[in-house]
Amino acid sequence: MDSMDGNTAATHVAYALSEFCFIFPITPSSTMAEHADAWSAQGKKNCFGTVPAVIQMESEGGVAGALHGSGASGGLCSSFTSSQGLLLMIPNLYKLAGELIPCVLHLAARQVGSSGTSIYGDESDAMSIRHIGCAMMCSGCPQEVMDLALVSHLAALNSSVPFVHFFDGFQTSHTISSVSPIPYDQIASLIPHDKVSAHRKRALNPMSPHQRGAVVGREDWFPATEAMSPVYEGVVPAVERALRDVATLTGRTYSLFDYAGAPDAEIIVVALGAGALATEETVLHLNSTGYSKKVGVIRVHLFRPWSIKHFMATLPPTTRIITTLDRTKEIGAIGEPLYMDVVASLMEVGRTGVRVLGGRYGLADFAFTPAMVKATYDNMLRETPLNHFTVGINDDVMHRSLPLGPEFSASGEAMQCSFWGMGSDGTVGANQMTIRMVGRNTKRFAHGMFFYSTHKSGGVTVSHLRFAPSAVKATYPITQADFIALSQHSYLAKYPILKTAKEGSIFLFNSPHDTVEALQANIPANVLHTIAERHIKFYTIDALKIATECGLGGHTNLVMQVGFFKLCPDLMPLEVALGLMKDNVRTVYAKKGDVVINKNITAMERAISELKLVNYPVDQWLALPSTVPRVLPPNLAPFVREIKVPLMFYESETVPVSAYQRLNYAGTVPNTTTRVEKRGIAVKVPTWDVNKCVQCTLCSIVCPHAVIRPYLLTQAEADAAPNQPFATKPAVPKTLGEYKFRIQISPLDCTGCGQCVNQCPVKALSLVPLETVAPKECANWEYTQTLPARELLPADTIKGSQLKQPLFEFNGACAGCGEAPYIKLLSQLFGDRAVFGCSSGCNVAYSFCFGVNPYCTKPNGRGPATAHSLFEDTAEFTYGIAKTNQIRREHLSAKIMALESNTAAPVTAPLRTALSAWVAGRNNTETSEQQMAAILPLLEAEHTACPELEAIWEMKNLLPKLTHWAIGGDGWANDIDFGGLDHVLLTGCDMKALVLDTEVYSNTGGQKSKATPKGSVHKFEAKGKASHKKDLGLIFMSYENIYVASVALFANPAQALRAICEAEAYPGPAVVIAYSPCIEHGIEGVTWLEQTKLAVDSGYWPLYRYNPLLRAQGKNPFVYESPENLRGSARDFLAHENRFQRLVREHPETAAVLHADLVDHIAQRHQSLLKKAKSEP
């Protein structure tokens, strides 16, 4: 028995039976491709004795095209995808089905974006392809994924029909569970070599030439299509044969439709995937606990082709009512897919007396618990059952949601444990290790599900672990916990940590407080009441202190894991667990040396002795209030109060559908929703030394989260601050007059990255423990937010730009993020007249998560308008916005000019003058703003005077000169949307592109892009990238009419600011390529700022500006701003990044060659750019 997640199980089989895997990253399928790539790099062989070629393409569309080509050439191929990625494949899926190419696509099923985008699982993507002609197989847990992936591959070969094997994204793809892997020699024994040979013989080859893809006429298509029918008649027998073969091999039996429940059940549920497994668990519980009717569930495995014969044979003859549960919504349809299939099946065979109801559940991974399953069966017992219902939500709009009873556990003897942690603190990794330890070393079945908040990093993580004597069927969060651990002290006052705690359960709390008095002073009264009321066994450990003193920083995971095993000895003896944990540490950190290993082992050993039981006063704590009023800021926007706040506190079930109808119409989300969060996740935050500060504001410009800002105050305002003394100093330069200067930090919004501290040239900032400054500085922060913005210096200077209000604040990016400062700077410079089209990637992950909108508005209500379309079309999407606004603005100009010629129109002279001035200066930013300020009050008073003025009033939002920016990462600009970006820039449209270049697909886990440098190791390039980085800037400069800049804000913020201002002012297309250090680089031994400066000084990252307007002035349009005589070593730069050093450790000979070539390339490029800058225009 092993432990693995669904993605690993799928890849295990796909790799075994494939010669080619074509891949592209998309969440949550990416790890399947990563496993395949890593195994191929290691030389692991498949069942044919060869090493599969694992090849990354530029998009999912490219993957599908390569699958088609490989299959048409006789290759055995597979791929992995999700959501929009699947939709990009649809044209080629038709071709694969039409040409009977037996490839297999493994789908981690996920919601398809519509009014919003969700990375979470349901069946909407799978259902979008059910008509194409691919067979479709569904799995519900990692073991099923393993077994039915094999069935899919075998049946594809035996039937010559392509298969889509799908399972719930995250819920199955990332759930780790006990699995019995099928050895490759056993898989090999089932390969139908005659079918493989037949497939090869149909290959495109000039030795046996034929043509595919003919253009078919009206007389031919219909009969040719019908001629395919016998092939599809053979799919069901092929699947049945594969099921029998796998059962013989493994002892695990499956059918096209599996039934569980009473053989004489009257009420039945039909469902797919993980939801069906949760239903099965609940069915067994209900039948064993005296439910009023006998119940059952039919779990669908072969969804296409749908076999009526097999479905009817599975349906108990006693059935009176069937409810189909679909994990998708088909707007406008009579019913969802399963509902339609079941209704049609009964009708086809003439089965009467059976009523069919349809319902929806679990969209985008909304929890589907035993209480919801029971509600579905309860509904069938009602005198008038609800049809086309929803379950789990409060639908007060259509009134089609089922009422829910209390939650209960259907997991029987399973031990259920919940672990609350913070993203990047190691909690999830430790729990994954726990599952593997228990699964591999005990007789228990281990099962783990992992949930994350919407923040890119530093968000809340909740791990749900179950350990049972038999296979775990639960596919939902734990509702009744035997054990709860909390690694973040601040969470206890914010989140319902103990909501699921059972009577007598165990609570392990990472806290610096261990006495009853200290705990009472630092834990909310209602939490203490719950502990006493449920007789919870309460333990504390100062895991942060142990981790810090042992040199592990904030990684408390191993300390908490030791505490778990000590408190749960029945699961595994502590000495055994500790031995396994130490072995794992030695393996994981072997290449980092004994020092690192010993630090971890010391921390684990200290955890044993420093765990403390709290003997709390039960009666005293019971007397405390059971609820505590939640204190929120006044005047919250309705969206924040009714939707954001409940979601933030894990109370999504309390938000009715009507709130979304009113406040989230068509997916719109208001700006300025992150201010209420105050996450308080930093251990240490910066504090300002007024005496050392030189007012450069470099600290502010590098801050990714806008938590440190400069302010100009009057003396009276400083004196009115809530905490005195309120440190300020006379503002410089002298042109600022009598104003005072202050740097203010928002402690509870800070992530503690230290970029500001590292950037400060005079060491006026230092990091101190959060709790030492939070009470005072939080009040100071709130006070500074009431002060007027004083933008008194030119915006194209660092200080002037930083005195402008950031309209991008408190985003969910990683601590120290190299991307976010650029977006923040854009928002300061142009945010009140900007439209940003944002590509899928990190910038969407930390800026577009529902209810977490860091883009904000000024007091006058203006701010960035932002939208996210797709990964593959952001350039075209932004172009559409820009072109529309520009043309509509010209329409406005035409209306005004027509009004000017109409002297009889009732328009006052001042308004005529202002409108005329606006037309003349409409393409100048300052003029547009000035004239708009004059026009709006006059127009408001006069717009009802005539239809012409009314029409102009309706278009008043087009008065400012808007700026349009496409924002995305290097994978977007270099790979999936390069063609689109190239095209729209060549149209000459006045739109801009900001390329946040991390040189890797950061958001999906660190896969290579065409911007990845030579000699670096990333996912999809485990042996080191053998080709140089694509030079996007050089490509766009070759067109000679596009403004192009290469910038590195952490190294030279003044150059970055200058370039961004020039790009926006350029009357045409512009591209700013922004170097963005990332955790995926593995920077070690230096700060991110120092490494970025070394990137520039060594020539690794060139700084330049290419402005075509200079050519008309007789100047060279190319200005090279890297040092002419390089001040740093490229070798030193490579030495500080794990992405390069990993190749040195794992493939030293390859590293020597590739790194030498990279260093030479850097030097040659530097000389080439110097020559370009010195050449005649």
Q: Which residues are catalytic?
A: 27, 60, 110, 1003
Two tokens at 785? 């937010």
**Residue 400 contacts residue 390 (beta carbons within 8 Å):** yes
Q: How far apart are CA 939 and CA 949, in angstroms?
A: 7
* CB-based contact 981:989 (threshold 8 Å): no
Q: Is the dihedral of CA 849, 855, 859, 863 positive or negative?
A: negative
Contacts by 947-954, CB closer than 8 A, 24 or more apart:
948/895, 948/898, 948/899, 948/902, 948/905, 949/899, 949/905, 949/907, 951/895, 952/892, 952/895, 952/896, 952/899, 952/915
Nearest-5° Cα angle at 621, 620 to 627:
135
- Distance from CA of residue 336 to its chain's centroid? 28
What is the distance between the alpha carbons of residues 877 and 865, in angstroms, rounded to a whole number?
14
CB 1103 within 8 A of CB 1052: yes
d(CA 468, CA 482): 13
Q: 584: helix, coil or strand?
A: helix
Q: Rounded to an integer, what distance in angstroms lies between the CA atom of residue 220 and that of residue 427?
A: 61
The three-state secondary structure class of 1067 is coil
**What's the chain's length in residues?**
1177
User: Distance between CA 781 and CA 744 in Å, rounded?
Assistant: 6
First to last CA, the chain: 70
- Residue 1174: Cβ within 10 Å count: 11
Q: How many CB atoms lie within 10 A of CB 1068?
A: 16
Q: How far is 884 from 752, CA to CA, in rounded Å?
A: 42
How far out from the chain centre does Cα 264 lie? 45
d(CA 682, CA 1101): 31
Give the orientation angle of helix 574-588 with respect to helix 594-610, to 10 degrees: 160
Q: What beta strand segments (E) does 382-536 contain?
A: 389-391, 415-422, 445-452, 460-468, 481-486, 501-510
Label residue 526 exposed, middle or buried (CB < 10 Å: 0-12, 13-18, 19+).
middle
CA gyration radius for the chain? Answer: 31
Distances (CA, A) of 424 to 405, 455, 460, 548, 751: 36, 11, 10, 15, 12
CA-CA distance, 322 to 257, in Å (whole number)?
15
Whole-number Å distance between alpha carbons of 914 and 936: 10
